[in-house]
Amino acid sequence: MTDLFAPLQSLKQGDWFKLICGASFQHLSAVRSLTLAYTLAGADCIDVAADPAVIAAAQAALLVARTLARDAQKRGFDYKGNSPFLMVSLNDGEDPHFRKAEFNPTECPTDCPRPCERICPAQAIIFNNKKEDFSGVVSEKCYGCGRCLPICPYGIIYTSSYVTTPGAIAPLIMSTGVDALEIHTQVGRLAEFQRLWQAISPWTDQLKVLAISCPDGDGMTDYLKAIYDLIAPLKSALIWQTDGRPMSGDIGDGTTIAAVKLGQKVLAAKLPGYVQLAGGTNSYTVAKLRAMGLLNDFRLPILDLGLEDANPQSEIQNRSTERSCQSPKSKIAGIAYGSYARVLLSPILEQLENKEVSNTNIKATVRLEEDDGLLWQAVELAYSLVSQIKSQQER
Can you spell out the DSSP letters for 68-109?
A: THHHHHHTT----SPPPEEEEEEESS--TTSEEEE--GGGS-
Give the E-state strand segments of the chain in sequence order: 16-20, 45-49, 85-91, 99-102, 125-129, 134-137, 158-161, 180-184, 209-214, 237-243, 274-278, 334-337, 356-359, 362-365
Q: In the prediction, which pLDDT does 308 show?
A: 42
Q: Peptide bond before 215: cis, by omega within 30 degrees of 0?
A: no
For residue 54, give the nearest of 11, 20, 80 by alpha carbon.
20
Residues of the chain with pLDDT under 70: 1-4, 95-97, 129-133, 162-164, 166-170, 172-174, 245-254, 297-310, 313-329, 356-364, 392-395
pTM, two decimal places: 0.84
pLDDT of residue 312: 74
Predicted confidence at residue 146, as pLDDT, reads: 80
334: which strand partners? Answer: 16, 276
Whole-number pLDDT of residue 360: 44
pLDDT for residue 364 = 67
Side-chain half-sphere of 55: how many Cα atoms within 13 Å?
20
d(Cα 199, Cα 195) in Å, to the nearest integer? Answer: 6
pLDDT of residue 325: 33
Instruction: Please report the pLDDT score of residue 78 as a whole number.
Output: 81
Cα distances (angstroms) measured from residue 376 to each of 26, 63, 333: 24, 17, 28
Q: Pairing between strand 16-20 and 45-49?
A: parallel
Res 321: pLDDT: 34
Do 30 and 140 touch, CB atoms closer than 8 A? no
Yes or no: say if 22 and 338 are a contact pair by the CB < 8 Å rule. Answer: yes
